[in-house]
Amino acid sequence: MNQKRDYYEVLGVDRNASEQELKSAYRRLALQYHPDRNPDNKEEATERFKEITEAYGVLADPQKRAAYDRYGHAGVSGSGGFSPDFSSTIFSDFEDIFGDLFGFGGVFGRHRRSRAQRGDDLRYDLEISFEEAANGLETKIKIPRWETCTDCGGRGGKRGTAPVTCNTCGGRGQIRHQQGFFTLTQTCPRCHGMGQVLREKCPACGGEGRVREERVLSIKIPPGVEDGMRLRVSGEGEAGVQGGPPGDLYVVLRVREHPFFERRGSDLYCTVPISITQAALGTELKIPTLRGHERLRIPEGTQPGSVFRLRGMGLPRVDGHGQGDLYVNVQVVVPTHLSREQRRLLEALSSTIRVENKPVARRGSENVKNGFG
Ligand SMILES: [Zn+2]
Ligand SMILES: [Zn+2]
């Protein structure tokens, strides 16, 4: 038995077996070769059980499976070869697979479940204006959540009473039954695996250790945040059960659109119309920014579609490093309803301005100018 068998062969599946197929093959074989079920042939069954567990441990992990597919056993055996350490994925698979059949805790050393459980994470959707996203804000939010019961300090027992050892399981949290030739281990139905029971429940929380309350929290949103960003407020989720740690609060930001600024990262974009005479003669524009106004000089001879950059007039970068820019796209508006006088002036002008109406190569990308000066 020096030559290692192919993992797919061990599990009796083909090389493109799905996760589900792997799992059911493993489940079937593991039940067949479980040492507890083969008392007359324990040694050989244990060998087979290790072999299929090793194969499943590799193939159930997509990364290890890919390495195995490319390099065979050499791709997955570390320096000391595979050690069935029951990593978290495979451990939870065990629970999945066997949870309903045997309490598998005995085999893998999972004894008493802790009383404490971490509280759930909470999500809060917060809608803010474009300016608030740009400048940051401090605001109060109200969240209904579970709070640790102050009467019992989260332990769930009536004040002054201590929990007692569960006498159904003797504090082990599990009950073993001898059934035919193997042992069935079950979570204790009285204490639900905790090994202890409350003598008297706390009247304020009914033994839960936590109560439902509405909590007002002050939160700080940094400047530069974007729509869809999530802020984690550590420890502000639901209270834990029976004194466990609290979950986290996630504030999901919804940023309302701006009437004329469009945002790309920390840069802002807007379009400003100018007349043909402003484009030809040059002008100075007053451009609104998120902090007030900025003067922008439009030089004479500005072409339609020209883009001017106002440095540092965009949004602050959310990492706190610098500031984006504001890009102003000028749109030259050609007049449509000319008065008699305007028409006369333009006709007079027309005879003095000549453009060669010959096709030219397509112009390159928009030409960005710096708007300071
Ligand atoms: Zn018990
Ligand atoms: Zn209580």
pLDDT for 114 equals 57
Centre of ligand 1 to C-alpha 189, Å, is 7
Same domain, yes or no: 276 and 236: no
Centre of ligand 2 to C-alpha 204, Å, is 5
Centre of ligand 1 to C-alpha 165, Å, is 8
Q: What are phi and psi of 336, to 5 degrees?
A: -110, -30
Q: For a pLDDT cut of 90, what percent of the chain falls above it?
A: 38
Ligand nearest to the CA of 196: 1
Res. 77 pLDDT band, cuts 50 70 90: low
| CATH code (residue 192) | 2.10.230.10
Same domain, yes or no: 207 and 247: yes
Same domain, yes or no: 93 and 195: no
Same domain, yes or no: 293 and 229: no
Res. 93 pLDDT band, cuts 50 70 90: very low
Res. 331 pLDDT band, cuts 50 70 90: very high
pLDDT for 270 equals 96
pLDDT for 298 equals 96
Q: How many structural domains is the chain composed of?
A: 3
Pairing of strands 368-370, 307-310: parallel
Ligand nearest to the CA of 156: 2
Centre of ligand 1 to C-alpha 112, Å, is 9
What does the alpha-carbon distance between residue 296 and residue 269 come to, in Å, rounded to a whole number? 14
Tell me the average pLDDT across 334-351: 93
What does the alpha-carbon distance between residue 302 and residue 279 come to, in Å, rounded to a whole number? 5
Domain end residue (candidates: 235, 255, 275): 255
Query: Is 22 part of a structural domain of the chain?
Result: yes
Ligand nearest to the CA of 172: 1
* Residues with Cβ–ion distance below 5 A, ligand 2: 149, 151-152, 202, 204-205
What does the alpha-carbon distance between residue 107 and residue 48 come to, in Å, rounded to a whole number? 16
Tell me the average pLDDT across 114-129: 86
Query: Is 332 part of a structural domain of the chain?
Result: yes
Model-wide pTM > 0.85: no
Centre of ligand 1 to C-alpha 311, Å, is 69
Query: Is 359 part of a structural domain of the chain?
Result: no
Query: Is 320 part of a structural domain of the chain?
Result: yes
pLDDT tens-place string over residues 194-228: 888 888 889 998 888 888 889 899 999 999 999 99
Reduced 3-state DSSP string for the chain: CCCCCCHHHHHCCCCCCCHHHHHHHHHHHHHHHCHHHCHHHHHHHHHHHHHHHHHHHHHCCHHHHHHHHHHCHHHHCCCCCCCCCCCHHHHHHHHHHHCCCCCCHHHHCCCCCCCCECCCCEEEEEEECHHHHHHCEEEEEEEEEEEECCCCCCCCECCCCCCEECCCCCCCCEEEEEECCEEEEEECCCCCCCCEECCCECCCCCCCCEEEEEEEEEEEECCCCCCCCEEEECCCCCCCECCCCCCCEEEEEEECCCCCCEEECCEEEEEEEEEHHHHHHCEEEEEEECCEEEEEEECCCCCCCCEEEECCCCCECCCCCCECCEEEEEEEECCCCCCHHHHHHHHHHHCCCCCCCCCCCCCCCCCEEECCC
pLDDT tens-place string over residues 8-21: 999 999 988 888 88
Distances (CA, A) of 187 to 172, 176, 194: 9, 9, 9
pLDDT for 126 equals 94
12-16, 89-93, 113-117: which is most confident: 12-16
Ligand nearest to the CA of 112: 1
Q: Which of 285, 290, 281 is nearest to 273 (CA)?
A: 285
Question: Is pLDDT above 50 for 80?
Answer: no
Query: Is 293 part of a structural domain of the chain?
Result: yes
Residue numbers of the domain that contains 67: 7-103
Res. 127 pLDDT band, cuts 50 70 90: very high
Centre of ligand 1 to C-alpha 187, Å, is 8
Same domain, yes or no: 208 and 132: yes
Same domain, yes or no: 84 and 129: no
Domain end residue (candidates: 69, 103, 137): 103
Scan for tokens 């193939």, then name that residue.
59
Query: Is 110 part of a structural domain of the chain?
Result: no
Question: Is pLDDT above 80 for 190?
Answer: yes
Query: Is 80 part of a structural domain of the chain?
Result: yes
Centre of ligand 2 to C-alpha 124, Å, is 26
More confident residue, 181 or 268: 268
| CATH code (residue 289) | 2.60.260.20
* Residues with Cβ–ion distance below 5 A, ligand 1: 166, 168-169, 188, 190-191
Centre of ligand 2 to C-alpha 173, Å, is 23
Same domain, yes or no: 222 and 313: no
pLDDT for 99 equals 39
Question: Is pLDDT above 80 for 292?
Answer: yes
Centre of ligand 1 to C-alpha 64, Å, is 39
Centre of ligand 2 to C-alpha 150, Å, is 6
Same domain, yes or no: 243 and 269: no
Domain end residue (candidates: 231, 255, 279): 255
pLDDT for 373 equals 36
Burial of 95 (C-beta count, 10 Å sphere; 0-12/13-18/19+): middle
Same domain, yes or no: 99 and 129: no
Same domain, yes or no: 160 and 81: no
Centre of ligand 1 to C-alpha 246, Å, is 26
Burial of 168 (C-beta count, 10 Å sphere; 0-12/13-18/19+): middle
Same domain, yes or no: 266 and 199: no
pLDDT for 141 equals 92
What does the alpha-carbon distance between residue 310 and residue 308 come to, in Å, rounded to a whole number? 7
pLDDT for 303 equals 94
Q: What rounded mean pLDDT belongs to the chain?
A: 82
Query: Is 221 part of a structural domain of the chain?
Result: yes
Same domain, yes or no: 167 and 235: yes
Question: Is pLDDT above 80 for 326?
Answer: yes
Q: Which of 321, 304, 324, 303 is nearest to 313 (CA)?
A: 324
Ligand nearest to the CA of 146: 2
Centre of ligand 1 to C-alpha 197, Å, is 8
Centre of ligand 1 to C-alpha 194, Å, is 7
pLDDT for 264 equals 93
| CATH code (residue 59) | 1.10.287.110
Q: Which of 7, 21, 5 is nearest to 55 (CA)?
A: 7
